């Protein structure tokens, strides 16, 4: 969050540094005054002790009350009330100003993001594109996000791009993101949502506008027909073993929505919401034993022969 990649994050980072500087300054000043008070107190005590030993015990009297502060009562009013009031007022004004700057701006693109245990569903209502665990946005323009949840409360946090916004089961929250330049940013679920909360990551990929348009175009096209025999067998395995009941692939009979949509799966960067890079080896391991890689996730174990697994991986990687 201290390396902002967009205007919203820059606003937050600036305010963060300002607060750290002000609070740091106040801390140092208070500690210095405390040290001075302790020093002065021990000096007075030393003086008192030596005076006592010289005098008779019968003339022992309480020491004279010391003044409230050697700097006078005015210092207490200024340092204890006026300066804190001024500092808090400045912080309040700057915080409200930042809050106003963080309000969602006008945007041409709206994306729906639904939080699931423990993955992200991403839908582009204007084009009908559905994907998962990856948010493709055009760089240099604000994108409006409609956030909700399918089960429990989640929270979307892309530290380089904006602050956190919760995803609630019964309400749509509006958030927005803008990336100054193309790049890949990591977002993370920021509200404890269950055993795999920590492994609920979202990749935000900001593309130059023309590449974004090209991506949008390709993503609306259907995945290619299986080109090889193993891929065709893989597709059979996909439908025979019931993968399609949870994982949709656009333009096919696979319409399940319980798990991540797998249309154009081969072009994804990661598997299992950011747990491992999307490679055939990792995909094989994931399907063979989903609970080994991400214990507690909702993907069931599917009994497959080695051949079936190879064919299924082949088919899924061909979806690009």
Closest to ligand CUA by CB, 121 or 314: 121
Look up residue 291 and give its two tokens.
Answer: 């609970």
Q: Report the nearest approach of ligand CUA to the CB of residue 194 (Å).
A: 7
- Using DSSP, state whether 302 is helix, strand or coil: coil
Measure the N-to-C terminal CA separation of the chain; round to a whole number of Å. 32
Residues near ligand CUA, by CB under 6 A:
115, 118, 154, 189, 191-193, 197, 200
- Using DSSP, state whether 34 is helix, strand or coil: helix
Closest to ligand CUA by CB, 119 or 238: 119
173 and 166 Cβ atoms separated by less than 8 Å: yes
Distances (CA, A) of 277 to 70, 141, 244, 281, 282: 65, 28, 23, 10, 7
Closest to ligand CUA by CB, 154 or 264: 154
Cα 159 from Cα 144, distance rounded (Å): 17
Closest to ligand CUA by CB, 115 or 159: 115
Closest to ligand CUA by CB, 197 or 235: 197
Cα 37 from Cα 301, distance rounded (Å): 68
Cα 152 from Cα 242, distance rounded (Å): 26
Closest to ligand CUA by CB, 149 or 312: 149
Q: Report the nearest approach of ligand CUA to the CB of residue 5 (Å).
A: 22
Q: Report the nearest approach of ligand CUA to the CB of residue 116 (Å).
A: 8
Q: Report the nearest approach of ligand CUA to the CB of residue 155 (Å).
A: 7
Q: Report the nearest approach of ligand CUA to the CB of residue 243 (Å).
A: 23
249 and 108 Cβ atoms separated by less than 8 Å: no
Q: Report the nearest approach of ligand CUA to the CB of residue 115 (Å).
A: 5
């Amino acid at each position: 969050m201290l390396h902002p990649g967009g205007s919203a994050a820059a606003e937050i980072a600036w305010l963060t540094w300002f607060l750290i500087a002000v609070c740091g300054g106040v801390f140092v000043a208070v500690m210095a005054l405390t040290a001075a008070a302790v020093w002065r107190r021990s000096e007075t005590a030393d003086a008192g002790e030596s005076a006592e030993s010289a005098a008779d015990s019968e003339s022992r009297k309480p020491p004279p009350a010391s003044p409230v502060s050697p700097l006078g009562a005015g210092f207490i009013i200024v340092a204890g009330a006026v300066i804190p009031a001024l500092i808090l007022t400045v912080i309040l004004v700057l915080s409200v100003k930042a809050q106003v700057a963080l309000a969602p701006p006008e945007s041409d693109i709206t994306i729906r993001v639904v939080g699931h245990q423990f993955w992200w569903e991403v839908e582009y209502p204007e084009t009908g594109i559905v994907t998962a665990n990856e948010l493709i946005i055009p760089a240099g323009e604000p994108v409006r996000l409609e956030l909700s949840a399918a089960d429990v409360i989640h929270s979307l946090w892309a530290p380089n791009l904006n602050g956190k916004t919760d995803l609630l089961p019964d309400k749509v929250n509006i958030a927005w993101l803008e990336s100054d330049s193309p790049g890949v940013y990591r977002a993370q679920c920021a509200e404890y949502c269950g055993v795999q909360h920590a492994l609920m990551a979202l990749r935000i990929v900001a593309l130059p506008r023309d590449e974004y348009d090209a991506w949008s175009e390709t993503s609306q096209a259907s995945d290619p027909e299986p080109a090889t025999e193993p891929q065709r067998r893989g597709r059979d395995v996909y439908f025979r073993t019931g993968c399609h009941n949870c994982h949709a692939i656009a333009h096919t009979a696979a319409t399940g929505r319980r798990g991540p949509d797998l249309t154009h799966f081969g072009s994804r960067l990661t598997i299992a919401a950011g747990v491992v890079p999307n490679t055939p080896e990792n995909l094989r391991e994931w399907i063979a034993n989903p609970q080994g890689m991400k214990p507690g996730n909702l993907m069931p174990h599917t009994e497959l022969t080695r051949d079936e697994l190879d064919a299924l991986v082949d088919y899924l990687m061909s979806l690009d």
